Amino acid sequence: MGVSQMTIHDQRHRIFFTMLLFQGIFLMACAFGFAAKKDAVKKNDYVMTEVALQSELMSYADRFASMMTQAVEDFDTFKPDPETRYFIMGDAVYSISAVFTIAAEPNPQVALLDMVTLTTLGRMIYEDNIKRKYGQPVEVVIEGFRQLEADIWAIAAKILSNEQQRELRELILEWRKRNPHQVVYNYIRFSDFAGDRKTSTLVEKEKTGGMFKSVQQATQQVEETRMLAERALYLATRLPLLTGSFAENWMSQMILNPEIQKILANVDNFSEVSNRLADVAEQLPDQISEERDKTVHQVTKEIEKLRLATINQVMKEVYQWTDTTLANVMA
């Protein structure tokens, strides 16, 4: 084989191996690209993790507490009567306690539905029932509920599809139509009325556990432990803040009790009598001094009369004795 033929043969081998190399690189690139695309699609299936959803709900509960506290303070500026103030303040305290508890539920997906349910029902009941009973000042609380309702539905829109949001609204409206006169909503949860609608996809998903494909469940022990610790810390730092509000609400309720009012009325009467006795006691020294002066003056006057009478009697007897004596001497 000549030199030229060997050169051509070597070149062909180089070209062949170069083509194989490029084909290998191309196949590897396609494989990595496909895997990356698959991972991206899998990752994009989730809007947020359960940890992130729990954090969102806890932040919302803090905003709820701040908004309701401000609404009650604004309501107080209208100087409501004690009974009205007791109701509004008590409702706000129990609502805040409820959202704190919901935010720390073990399943954040269920907690989201409960939070939407409580807030939406609260706004409806204030508009339909409470405002009718307590008047225009309640509007400041209603406005707070409207803002909170828009807030929680915005969070739900990140996770729930349009169809799921529509179903949730329908379930809440159906319950409200069946219970138009109920004003206690703080303890109503999604599971309390969702079972009445057997065909709801939300109901079925709640029963099966994994509710939304858009929420990635915590699968590692570390994540579950972290969520548990965050829930415990959240409740431990939030609920004690309500202690003073609960105490004030219970005190208001006790004061409005008819039996307690009778006792307070008796206390008022006793206080009035005590004040009168105190006034008399303050006047006693002056009255005693005046009576003493009158008595001394009267006694002095009587003594003076007695003294003069005694002197007159003595002088009279002296004169009589003198006259008798002189008469005897002259005789």
pLDDT at res. 256: 57
Q: Are 129 and 121 in contact (CB under 8 A)?
A: no
In-domain check, residue 5:
no
Are 183 and 307 contained in the same domain?
Answer: no
Are 250 and 202 contained in the same domain?
Answer: yes
C-alpha–C-alpha distance, residues 259 and 303, integer Å: 63
Q: Which long-range contacts (CB under 8 A, 24 or more apart) does 139-145 make?
A: 140/71, 140/74, 140/75, 141/68, 141/71, 141/72, 141/75, 141/88, 141/92, 143/71, 144/67, 144/68, 144/70, 144/71, 145/119
Of 36-40, 118-122, 177-181, 296-300, minimum mean pLDDT range: 36-40
In-domain check, residue 176:
yes
Are 57 and 78 contained in the same domain?
Answer: yes
Could you give the number of structural domains in the chain? Answer: 2
In-domain check, residue 184:
yes
Rounded average pLDDT over 79-96: 91
Are 216 and 317 contained in the same domain?
Answer: no
C-alpha–C-alpha distance, residues 68 and 143, integer Å: 10
Q: What is the DSSP string of 43-72?
A: HHT-SEEHHHHHHHHHHHHHHHHHHHHHHH
Q: What is the pLDDT of residues 94-124, one digit of tens each?
A: 999 999 999 999 899 999 999 999 999 999 9
Are 304 and 169 contained in the same domain?
Answer: no
Query: In angstroms, what CA-CA distances link 145 with 95, 126, 141, 264?
Result: 11, 9, 6, 37
pLDDT band at 240 (very low <50, low <70, confident <90, very high): confident
In-domain check, residue 1:
no
In-domain check, residue 168:
yes
Are 203 and 235 contained in the same domain?
Answer: yes
Are 237 and 313 contained in the same domain?
Answer: no
Are 164 and 123 contained in the same domain?
Answer: yes
Domain boundaries, position 169? 48-256
- Answer with the one of 207, 225, 256 that is the final residue of a domain: 256
The pTM of this model reads 0.62
Are 148 and 282 contained in the same domain?
Answer: no
Q: Distance of alpha carbon 280 from its chain centroid, rounded? A: 49
Q: Are 147 and 67 in contact (CB under 8 A)?
A: yes
Rounded average pLDDT over 31-52: 56
In-domain check, residue 301:
yes
In-domain check, residue 90:
yes
Are 207 and 226 contained in the same domain?
Answer: yes
Residue 151 burial (CB count, 10 A): 17
pLDDT at res. 255: 59
pLDDT band at 27 (very low <50, low <70, confident <90, very high): very low
Residue percentage of the chain with pLDDT more than 90: 38
Are 235 and 266 contained in the same domain?
Answer: no
For residue 49, which phi and psi values (nearest 5 degrees)?
Answer: -90, 170
In-domain check, residue 106:
yes
pLDDT at res. 151: 97
- Answer with the one of 218, 233, 256 that is the final residue of a domain: 256
DSSP one-letter code for 184: -
Query: In angstroms, what CA-CA distances link 32 with 39, 52, 163?
Result: 10, 30, 36
- Answer with the one of 221, 236, 256 that is the final residue of a domain: 256
Are 243 and 277 contained in the same domain?
Answer: no
